[in-house]
Amino acid sequence: MRNSFDYKRRATVNSMTSAFDATASSFERFRLLPSGVPERIRSAIHTAARITATARVLDVGAGTGRIGRAFIEAGDFYIGVDMSLAMLQEFRAGSNRGFLAQADGCQLPFREGAFDIVLFMHVLSGARDGRALLNEARRVLRPGGVVAVGHTVAPETGIDEQLKRQLRLVLNEMGINWHRPRDPRREALAWLESAATRYVHLQAASWNVSASAREFLQRHRSGARFATLPVGVREQALQKLSAWAEKNFASLDASSDEQRSFELDIFEF
């Protein structure tokens, strides 16, 4: 039974890795954080972790380095790991410092207690085995170290959130049981809080954007999880979503000024 489970898990991991590989070159085009935000994220984590100097940082799911580069530039001993080699190659193209490794977050190649901080930035909402990730994070974390979980928050009534909800409805109608990203993140946060000796929730940064349905549709085409769906399913879903957006927003290019924020949940162990 375990062999069957391991096979299915490897198949899922390989599918997701291939999807991230395929979207790596365009990943930051629609996902780059505003100037200064990664630095504020790093500062907020260090302050909450009560670390006044540089730190030993492990970034699980480092991707293209849009957040990790701030830790490198500040002088932290930084190691970024990701299953996608193409993502790490994009990271390396933008920074020749720091250490990068292609590795499974559920089986980290590091000794116990090696790090002061373990980062999960935009990772837990899409994790297939969140408990294994968190157990490994705790294993490589030193006593008194922190796990920092971060994600971007958009207003519930904004264009992005409306389109996400509608896309899930469209896919469900097509027979695709689409994931709810908040569910695995909430479960992971609850488990971390139950085990932590100290917990801090804070907003590291906020900024304004001009959102449109067209920008969402273009960005979603390069979404790694969305890319695991068959091409025909993706195109049909986007066509249905585009028609819904034109009806409800009058135009795909109709813009809405929205405030985004980056929120952190920090757990000390």
Question: 229 in a domain, yes or no?
Answer: no
pTM of the model: 0.89
Q: What is the mean pLDDT of residues 237-266?
A: 96
pLDDT of residue 11: 43
**Selection from 84, 85, 88, 79 nearest residue 58 by Cα:** 79
Question: 165 in a domain, yes or no?
Answer: no
Dist CA 102 CA 119 (whole Å) = 16
Q: Judge contact between 192 and 134, C-beta under 8 A.
A: yes
Which CATH number does the domain housing residue 22 bear?
3.40.50.150
pLDDT of residue 190: 93
Q: What is the mean pLDDT of residues 30-39?
A: 93
228 vs 170, which has greater pLDDT?
170
| pLDDT tens digits, one per residue of 177-221 | 876 767 788 899 999 999 999 999 999 999 999 999 999 999 988
Question: 128 in a domain, yes or no?
Answer: yes
* Sign of the four-CA dihedral 13, 17, 18, 20: positive
Between helix 2-23 and helix 85-94 the angle, nearest 10°, is 40
Question: 15 in a domain, yes or no?
Answer: yes
Of 76-80, 231-235, 241-245, minimum mean pLDDT range: 231-235
Amino acid at 110: F
Question: 241 in a domain, yes or no?
Answer: no
pLDDT beyond 70 at 68: yes
Q: How many domains does the chain have?
A: 1
The 77-82 sheet, strands edge to edge? 99-102, 77-82, 56-60, 115-121, 141-153, 255-268, 198-212
Q: Judge contact between 264 and 67, C-beta under 8 A.
A: no
Question: 220 in a domain, yes or no?
Answer: no
